[in-house]
């Protein structure tokens, strides 16, 4: 099991598909940082200069905590980062998973080791690779933005501008300890990166076409988002709870309020579906 896991993790790190997903999301994170620094950096410096004489109430609106990719709402890059996250994370191993099952590679593995160990190692490697593909771009964005934007604590009276409303996920922490708030959202995005990757691998058992298996998680999120927006047109945003992972992973409210129960429930649903698919269609039922 340990030997097989090392092999699968090594395959993940040196996979060109892993590199493509990592570069794609990193590009969006860097472009988001560049955009926000060009747009707000000069204004922030001017505000800081004014504080030499008197406190400027605009300071909390132009800080790192409202400018990193998880909070900013102005660039195209942040939209692409979150919406294409299912593709960037599913691409590395969903692709290799389909290829190995089609080529007969798994047959050779089973001869030397049992099938259960292979699928355990594969699933862990898939999950870890998806987490890394999300975590590294987020950390790069945070490093770039924090190097230029001040760490002013958000003001609760500006929740309309920050789009972090009372009752939202971790909202109290945003106004009391924003550093922990950012860390929790980075952890949440990283976790869902792994879940998206495993979901893409699970879909490969139902779809023989590699491209379709990789794109299916993204297409599902897109359809659900459009459906949610269609219903939202007939109600206030505060009346509904955000159900779409690619939207509630953003650290400020995009369309509807985020809920910890929903975030946990969606994660459990994805994990349960993926686990039972890989276990029963892979370990139990697949015949070589």
What pLDDT score does 287 carry?
47
Average pLDDT in the chain = 80
| Dist CA 28 CA 152 (whole Å) | 25
| Confidence check: pLDDT of 267 > 90 | yes
| Dist CA 21 CA 105 (whole Å) | 24
Domain ranges of the chain: 2-284
Of 29 and 214, the structure prediction assigns the larger pLDDT to 29
| Dist CA 170 CA 182 (whole Å) | 10
Q: Is the pTM of this model over 0.95?
A: no
Angle between helix axes 16-50 and 76-83 (nearest 10 degrees) is 140
Chain centroid offset of residue 262 CA: 16
288 pLDDT band, cuts 50/70/90, is: very low
Q: Which of 71-85, 145-159, 203-217, 218-232 has the highest mean pLDDT?
A: 71-85
CB atoms within 10 A of CB 194: 24
Q: What are the DSSP calls for 202-255, one per residue? A: HHTTT---HHHHHHHHHHHHHHHHHHHHHHHTTS-GGGSB---HHHHTSSS-SS
pLDDT digits (tens, 9 = 90+) for 197-233: 988 888 877 877 777 777 888 888 888 877 776 666 5
239 pLDDT band, cuts 50/70/90, is: low
Asked whether the beta carbons of 17 and 95 are under 8 A apart, the reply is: yes
Q: What percent of the chain has pLDDT over 90?
A: 26
What pLDDT score does 193 carry?
93
Question: In the structure encoding, which two tokens stand for residue 183, read together?
Answer: 């860390």
């Amino acid at each position: 099991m340990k030997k097989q896991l090392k092999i699968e993790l090594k395959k993940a790190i040196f996979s060109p598909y892993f590199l493509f997903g990592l570069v794609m999301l990193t590009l969006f994170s860097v472009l988001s940082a560049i955009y926000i620094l060009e747009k707000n950096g000069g204004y922030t410096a001017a505000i800081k200069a004014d504080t030499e004489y008197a406190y400027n109430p605009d300071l909390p609106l132009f800080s790192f905590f409202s400018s990193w990719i998880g909070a900013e709402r102005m660039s195209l890059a942040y939209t692409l980062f979150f919406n294409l996250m299912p593709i960037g994370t599913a691409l590395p191993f969903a692709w290799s998973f389909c290829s190995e099952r089609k080529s007969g590679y798994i047959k050779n593995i089973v001869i030397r080791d049992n099938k259960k160990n292979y699928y355990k190692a594969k699933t862990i490697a898939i999950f870890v690779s998806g987490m890394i593909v999300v975590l590294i771009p987020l950390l790069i964005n945070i490093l770039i933005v924090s190097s230029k934007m001040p760490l002013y604590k958000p003001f609760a009276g500006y929740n309309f501008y920050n789009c972090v409303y009372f009752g939202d996920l971790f909202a109290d922490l945003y106004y009391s300890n924003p550093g922990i708030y950012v860390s929790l959202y980075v952890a949440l995005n990283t976790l869902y990166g792994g879940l998206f990757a495993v979901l893409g691998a699970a879909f490969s058992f139902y779809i023989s076409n590699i491209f379709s298996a990789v794109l299916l998680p993204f297409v599902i999120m897109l359809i659900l988002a459009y459906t949610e927006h269609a219903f939202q047109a007939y109600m206030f945003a505060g009346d509904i709870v955000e159900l779409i992972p690619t939207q509630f992973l953003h650290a400020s409210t995009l369309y509807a309020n985020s809920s910890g129960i929903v975030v946990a429930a969606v994660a459990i649903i994805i994990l349960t579906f993926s686990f039972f698919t890989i276990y029963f269609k892979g370990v139990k039922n697949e015949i070589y």
